Each structure stands twice: as C-alpha cells, then as structure tokens.
Amino acid sequence: MGKADFLTPKAIANRIKSKGLQKLRWYCQMCQKQCRDENGFKCHCMSESHQRQLLLASESPQKFMDYFSDEFRTEFLELLKRRFGTKRVHNNIVYNEYISHREHVHMNATQWETLTDFTKWLGREGFCKVDETPKGWYVQYIDRDPETIRKQQEQEKKKKQDLDDDERTAKFIEEQVKRGLGTNDEDTPVYTELSRENEDEKVTFNLNKGASTSGAVASKSSSLTSNALKSASSIGSVKRKDVTQGQVKEKKKKSALDEIMEMEEQKKKTERTDYWLQPDIVVKIVTKKLGDKYHKKKAVIKEVVDRYTAIVKLIDSGDKLKLDQTHLETVIPAPGKKVLVLNGGYKGNFGILDSINEKTFSAAIIIDSGPLKGRKVEGIPYEDFSKVA
C-alpha cells in the first residue's frame, strides 16, 4: 500500500501524531528515531541501519556514552542559565521543561541513572549550588561568564572601598577624640600677682605754695594706680571668662564626638551578611552526607570559590573537599588564642579571645588589628568568629 497524499486526512493525522512527545520505550537514541507504536519500534530494530549503529556502538560504548552525557549536561545547563538565570529552582521543573523538546537527549543514554544522581554530580563539579529539602532537590546555576565575573569584582571592589572609607572615618574620629582630651600648654594663660615696680617709693605732700600742684600730682598718681588696678582686674576677669567658655565648648565638642562614635558603633553592629567564609580559618565539617570519615572533622579553608563555597583541607588526613558554608561551622579556640571576626561590625579584624559566655553563646574579643586595636568587644556570637589556622 502506498503512502497517503499530503492533504489527505490520514497524512494530516500522521503528521499530528509525529509532533510532540511520545513513549520513551519506543525511542532509539543511537539512531535518534521515535516510533509511534511497538510494531514500528520492532521493525526499526530489525532494520539494517539500526544494526550498523549497534556494531559501531559495540566497538567503543564508553565513547558514545560520554558523548550523550556531554550533550545532556550542556543542553540542561544552557536551559537552566537562559530560563532561570541564577535563581534557586526545583530540579524537576527544569527537567520537565528540558524533555518537552522532542529531540532532546534521553537520560537513559547517559552515565546518570536518575535525576538525583545528575543533580548531585552538578553540585560536586561546581556547576550549580544544590541543596536537599523535604520537597526535593533544588539547583542554583553558578554563572562563570567573564562579564558577570567582572561585574561581581567591581561590586566587591566598591564594597571594599566603602569599608575603607568607614575605617578612615573611624580613625579620624578617634584622632579628634584624642585631640579633644589632650591639653595644649601654649594656649593656657599664665596669671601673675600685680606688684609695683619700686616698693620703696613714697607718696609725699607739700603744704607750701605748690601744695595744690603736688596734691594734684598725688591725686593724679593715685587715680592712675586705681585705674591700673581696675584694668588689671578687668583683664583677669575677661581671661578667666574666656578660659571657662573655652572649657565649656571643649566639653560640648567632646560630647558630640562621643555621640558620633556611638552612632558609628550602632551602624557597624547592624552591618551583617549571609556569608562568612574566609581563607586560613579553622572550620568543622557538620554534614553527614560525606560519611563518618569526614563528619565532625576539622579542616582549614584554603580557597573561597565564591561567597558561599570553599575548598577545605582536612587537618588529619590532608584530603581536599569542596563544600558549601551550610556544611561547615566555626571553631572556638581556648581563651588567649587568635581569632578572626567573620561577620558584624568588626568583620575582617583579627583579635584575641578573652572569655566565653556559655549562657548567651557569645564571647569577648580584644581587637588586635586596624584602627580599633586594643578595644574589647563583648557579646560576639559563636558563629561570627573562628580560630585562625
């Protein structure tokens, strides 16, 4: 029986059936051919072209599996990047959208048996951030495009400049406070006792003809002396008044600086981030997914891949792992050891652990670097600092 004409109902029905998805068990990945029923798939398997493809695959099966795996991974990640960007999304949503394309590479032709295995592999290789929840596995694409990396570096550089500006402001305020507390000997007035130049000089009165003249002279000299005393006392009172006003102004200036310092402290305490990983600090592995070999083991962060992922080296065995910050926790050393503040207003400052408060799960740290060196800060939570390697 020949084929139906192009515009006949049967030909149109066949074209409609050939569109869209059909049963996976009737799809041949080697030949990339989809059959509509079991009889068609049986005829295809007996065909000469299918037999030739099987002979080629039998010569190097791993080569074909690697090719299909690369195709599946590339197309899946391209869809994830284009459709969802860097948003956190359920892996099943992405997979359903991927297989809606009729010519997609099927997972049964790849090295991964299930979608969960593929999701875990993406997390281990660093293509995505993956996390398991009661609702299933979620993936978040990590964009390593040079343009995106450049923009992130610019944002980090700008943030660092802002932090440097804050440190310079804090240093300037401390200098102003020290200047207000210090005294300047050059500006301090010196008071001396009022005394006459010649103590032996006597005032004499002549009662002769020149009495009136001498009396006038005497009265004139006495008036000059009284005027000098009044002027000296007035100058002394003015100087004392100026000194008192200067001290009051200085006190007011000092209190204003204290208010500025308090405002800066409050501002620093509110500056918190959702990431805390830093190189050269000691951490503890808390995840159980890696087995008992790594659970509760201590390691040193060697490199921070991004804000939430780091490469750690175990202290005991020397093994290197790539872990998310949710799988790690900080390590609290003994008092007197060196620590690094990881979050909060004093982030990035080294310090010495002074004491630990087990009731409030916090500690007191003496800052050992930066313009705030020597300051004792209390009430820093356990998760905001860690031991330095």
Q: Give me the pLDDT at residue 340, please.
A: 93
Q: Give me the pLDDT at residue 230, please.
A: 55
Q: From residue 50, how far is each of 37, 38, 262, 322 by CA, in Å? A: 17, 16, 79, 43
Q: Give me the pLDDT at residue 352, please.
A: 93
Angle, vertex CA 129, rays to CA 269 and CA 294, nearest 5: 85
Q: Give me the pLDDT at residue 233, please.
A: 56
Query: Tens of pLDDT along 70-109?
Result: 888 999 999 998 888 888 999 999 988 888 776 778 787 7
| Domains of the chain as residue ranges with CATH | 22-141 (1.10.10.2030), 282-387 (2.30.30.30)
Q: How far apart are CA 17 and CA 5, in angstroms?
A: 16
Mean pLDDT computed over every residue of the chain: 78
Q: Among residues 324, 325, 369, 331, which one has the least CA distance to residue 350? A: 369
User: 10-residue block means of pLDDT along the chain (389 residues)?
Assistant: 72 69 68 76 82 76 83 90 88 87 78 90 90 91 79 79 78 82 57 60 57 46 53 53 50 60 63 86 90 89 89 90 91 92 87 91 89 86 91
Q: Give me the pLDDT at residue 208, please.
A: 57
Query: Tens of pLDDT along 313-371?
Result: 999 888 888 999 999 999 999 999 999 999 888 888 899 999 999 888 899 999 988 77
Q: How far apart are CA 301 and CA 337, in angstroms?
A: 18
* Phi-psi domain of 40 (left: phi exceeds 0; alpha: psi -120 through 50; beta: other): alpha
Amino acid present at 264? E
Q: Give me the pLDDT at residue 214, please.
A: 44
Residue 247: CA atoms inside 13 Å, Cβ hemisphere, count?
A: 7
